[in-house]
Amino acid sequence: MEVLSVKSLGKRYGNTEAVRDVSFEVGAREIVGLLGPNGAGKTTTINMILGVLEPTSGSIRIEGVDLRAKRAQALERTNFAAVYAPLPGNLTVYHNLRVFGLIYGVRDLRGRIEELLAHFDLEKFRGTKCGVLSSGEQTRVALAKAMLNKPRLLLLDEPTASLDPAMAGDIRKHIRAFADGGTGGVLWTSHNMYEVEEVCDRVLFLSHGRILLQGDPKLLPRRHGRKSLEELFIAVARDAHAQGGA
């Protein structure tokens, strides 16, 4: 059974259609990359799945639970990390994890926090305020928070942006391990095509709020006459730009 099912999703702001007729699924143990140029509708789509933006049309089901009808039950099964939503910098790592653990109703919260502090190598920062951590450390805290409730659907919006290659590689390993080791699925946005190719099982190309292409990131470029995913991305982005400017 898929952990996320999006059907005919649309979002309109006045006369502007930010997202139109988008449908896709994310299966258990699957990492799906949501790609596209800036303004393509990726973050709008993710915000609708997170319940912080109401769709104009369509439906979102998380493990079969309708987000619109049963918001709390649907969101209990998700979690997220985004580069633009850092955890409050004025609380310590431990305090942030405790507050969000309570909100997500995590059982044996103390034990779960200890497990995650060890897993993400954050033990020495437990009493440190998040605001003074480096970008890489803050990303690890955000991921620890995102995995507190062992989500069935993990949403990651550019989780490795602003990280050095070594740190980004570690983060990718953590996320791959999450998908391989459990029953959860991941929806991931990134502008780094090399990491998408390395991590994602499937990608969706969004442009002007619509899904243009989808498939295996290793096979998709050749199928469209391109050498690499990056080349394909650039072609899609230029095409989108030309259409937008026309």
Partner 1 sequence: MSFDRTFAIVLRQYYLMRGSFSRFLPLFLWVAIDMVLWGFLSEYLNTVSVPGMDFVPKLLGAVLLWDFLTRVMQGVTIAFLEDVWSRNFLNFFATPLSVSEYVGGLVVTSILTSSVGLAVMLALATAVFGLSFLSFGLLAVPFIAILFVTGISLGVLGIAMVLRLGPASEWFIWPIPIMISPFAGVFYPVSILPAWMRAVSYALPPSYVFEGMRASLASGTVSAGSLAVGGALSAAYLGLAFQVFRSTYRHAIRTGLIARYSAESVA
Does residue 191 belong to the site contacting partner 1 (CB under 8 A)?
A: no
Write out the binding residues for partner 1, residues 160-189 only, by CB under 8 A: none
What gap in Å lies between CA 175 and CA 168, rounded to an integer? 11
Q: Name the packing angle between helices 93-103 and 135-146 (round to 10°).
A: 20
Q: Which is nearer to partner 1, 1 or 102 (CB)?
A: 102
Where helices occur in the chain by DSSP H, the ranges are 42-49, 71-76, 93-103, 109-119, 135-146, 165-181, 193-199, 220-223, 229-245
Residue 19 or 35: the one with the smaller Cβ distance to partner 1 is 19
Q: Which of residues 28-57 bind partner 1 (CB under 8 A)?
A: 43-44, 47, 50-54
- Asked if 98 and 138 count as a contact pair (C-beta separation under 8 A), the reply is no
Verify binding: residue 75, partner 1, rule CB under 8 A: yes
Q: How far apart are CA 81 and CA 160, in angstroms?
A: 10
**Which one of 82-90, 173-181, 195-203, 226-234 is the stretch in contact with partner 1 (CB under 8 A)?**
82-90
Residues 6 or more apart in contact with residue 53 via CB below 8 angstroms: 11, 44, 47
Tracing tokens 């740190």 back to the chain, one arrives at 167
Binding segment (CB under 8 A) for partner 1, from list 79-87, 160-168, 188-196, 207-215:
79-87
Nearer to partner 1, 18 or 196 (CB): 18
Pick between residue 142 and residue 220 the one whose CB is nearest to partner 1.
142
Binding track over 87-126 against partner 1, x by CB under 8 A = xxxxxx--x--xxx-xxxx---------------------
**78 vs 207 by CB, closer to partner 1:** 78
Interatomic CA distance for residues 211 and 76, integer angstroms: 27
- Number of CB atoms found within 10 A of residue 231's CB: 14
71 sits near partner 1 (criterion: CB under 8 A):
yes
| In the complex, minimum distance from the CB of residue 98 to partner 1, in angstroms, rounded to a whole number | 7
Candidates 30, 36, 40, 80: give the one binding partner 1 (CB under 8 A). Answer: 80
Q: Give the one residue of 8, 73, 162, 243 binding partner 1; rule: CB under 8 A.
A: 73
In the block, tokens 């990492």 appear at 31
Closest CA to 49 of 231, 185, 160: 185
- Sites of contact with partner 1 (CB under 8 A): 13, 43-44, 47, 50-54, 71-73, 75-76, 78, 80, 82, 84-92, 95, 98-100, 102-105
